[in-house]
Amino acid sequence: MVNKYMQTYLERIKAELLSRLGEFEQFCPVSLAESQELFDCSATDSLEFAAEFRGHYYKMSSQEKLNKFLENPELYVPPLAPHPLPSADMIPKRLTLSELKSRFPKCAELQGYCPVTYKDGNQRYEALVPGSINYALEYHNRIYICENKEKLQKFLRSPLKYWEQKLPHKLPPLREPILLTSLPLPGYLEQGIATSLIKAMNAAGCLKPKFPFLSIRRSALLYIALHLKAFNPKGSEYTRKKYKKKMEQFMESCELITYLGAKMTRKYKEPQFRAIDFDHKLKTFLSLRNIDPING
């Protein structure tokens, strides 16, 4: 019952607020007066930044704006308010995807380029960035498409700054998807495996692998191939684990040369005077002659 009474109380407070909203409805009067920004406060039901003046309620966008209003409320409401709230048809409205589709065949202004990015970029050619249909709005009976949510909010708050612009005569070419396999070999390598190949070559340069009985060139190429397979982001988890194990085995075989070079002496030593694993590693080394290091 207590929860029910609290809910009823809050609903009545909200209804009273809506019935007694001032001339600026749910828009912040301080933002409108100071910078002509249409800061819509309807997204939140909180009364934290609300104030009552002359029998009307006003909602502010922040504590700072509320403090300014409380200090001199007469400056932000008629007749001293410098800017009145525009009429409903002159206030920009965000469009949902269904609302945007219902406007067909009306086309977006600026051929779909983001008006905020273009304006903030000093209307340079590089600032012509296509908008996203997820961030569409309607203003002055015209449709605009913004690049992202941040740019959409900028337009909604300052439509006079962004709505009336003209495109340059020269426009960027249309961005069409290109199949990776349709590129020439250098382009395919650059776009497809450049990062992975650089990492593999860098690892090979640091480790300098040399497989028994193989040339340095072939050893390096085999290591790079294993590295590409082991760290292929598009490969399955099973495949990556499989080739990581092969790469570890490959490196263990390469380390035999370093080990034997350090432990082997010019003079013959009896088995009991040799390192514990010397004979085993020497046998493993000799067994790698004529062995395929990948499938052997």
Per-residue burial over 79-90, b if 16 or more Cβ lie within 10 Å, else e, is eebeeebeeeee
Q: Answer yes or no: do 18 and 110 share one domain.
A: no
Q: What is the pLDDT of residue 131?
A: 93
| The pLDDT value given to residue 228 | 94
User: According to the model, what pLDDT value does residue 33 have?
Assistant: 92
Could you tell me if residue 296 is inside a domain?
A: no
Compute CA distances 280 → 71, 256, 260, 263, whole Å.
Answer: 89, 11, 11, 13
Mean pLDDT on 218-240: 93
Judge whether 40 lies within some domain. yes
- Using alpha carbons, select from 67, 71, 49 the residue that is nearest to residue 59: 49
pLDDT at 128: 93
**Residue 137 reports pLDDT greater than 90:** yes
Domains contained in the chain, number: 3
Predicted pLDDT of residue 16 = 65
Bigger pLDDT: 260 vs 178: 260
SS3 per-residue string spanning the chain = CHHHHHHHHHHHHHHHHHHCECCCCCECHHHHHHHCCCCECCCCCCCCCEEEECCEEEECCCHHHHHHHHHCHHHHCCCCCCCCCCCHHHCCEEECHHHHHHCCCCCEHHHHECHHHHHHCCCCHHHCCECCHHHEEEECCEEEECCCHHHHHHHHHCHHHHCCCCCCCCCCCCCCCCCHHHCCHHHHHHHHCHHHHHHHHHHHHHHCCCCCCCCHHHHHHHHHHHHHHHCCCCCCHHHHHHHHHHHHHHHHHHHHHHHHHHHCCCCCCCHHHCCCCHHHHHHHHHHCCCCCCCCC
pLDDT digit string, tens, across residues 171-208: 887 766 677 677 777 777 777 788 898 999 999 999 99
88 located within any domain: no
Residue 167 inside a domain? The answer is no
Listed residue (167, 103, 169, 168) closest to 139, CA to CA: 103
Q: Mean pLDDT across the stretch 205-225?
A: 94
* Residue 110 located in a structural domain: yes
84 in a structural domain: no
Query: Which of 112, 128, 161 is the last residue in one of the domains?
Result: 161
Beta bridge partners of 93: 138
Domain membership of residue 4 as a residue range: 1-75
